Amino acid sequence: MPDKDLESKLVDTIKHIHFECYKLCKRSFNKYFANAGNIGIFCHSDTEYQILTNIRKNITEPTDNADQKYFRLYNPIIIPADNDVPETIYSFLYIRKPDPTPYGEYLGDIDFYAEDAEFYNIKNYLLEGNYIDGAKIYDRPDLDMIQLYDEKCDSVAYLSKKSMTETVRVKQSEITKL
């Protein structure tokens, strides 16, 4: 059974990532998009990955799918509304292996989604060479997403269509084995 202090620290990290990512969304779009209920925690060492994976095994449903990235939480994590940030329910958790790329420096990520037409309007605006502060086309050919970032922020968020936020719950390609 995992240490309750470690589970509590995991929840604290999830809350931190949550609020940081909402700041990113507000900064780029001056509004909040719908939250997909996915949250990823990025590990910075093999030991941290082992510990968090063991905790995840106790708080999420098992699966036989070897490509499963996000696991359904037995008890969703509910983060109450705070100021203008809406109440959010996280139902899926991903524990990511240590990553030597710059993405490995982040604490974690969340996924926002827009209606298809709005997403494609934003994406096309960026593809036409226009600028949105803190938003760029995510450089992964297998994922149709917009990345929300800030050099001063320790978390990263993604905006996509709702269907993509469900698709990413399973590994999409060999580009990353994380």
Q: How confident is residue 3, by pLDDT bands cut at 50, 70 and 90?
A: low
What pLDDT, in 10s, does the model give residues 87-102? Answer: 999 999 999 999 888 7
Q: For residues 157 and 109, what is the distance between their CA atoms, to the nearest angstrom?
A: 5
Average pLDDT, the chain: 90
Asked whether the beta carbons of 49 and 57 are under 8 A apart, the reply is: no
Note the pTM of the prediction, 2 decimals: 0.90
The full 3-state SS of 5-44, as one line of letters, equals HHHHHHHHHHHHHHHHHHHHHHHHHCCCCEEEEEEEEECC
Between vectors from CA 68 to CA 37 and to CA 147, what angle results, nearest 5°? 50
**Domains defined for the chain, CATH in brackets:** 4-167 (3.10.180)
Asked whether the beta carbons of 91 and 37 are under 8 A apart, the reply is: yes
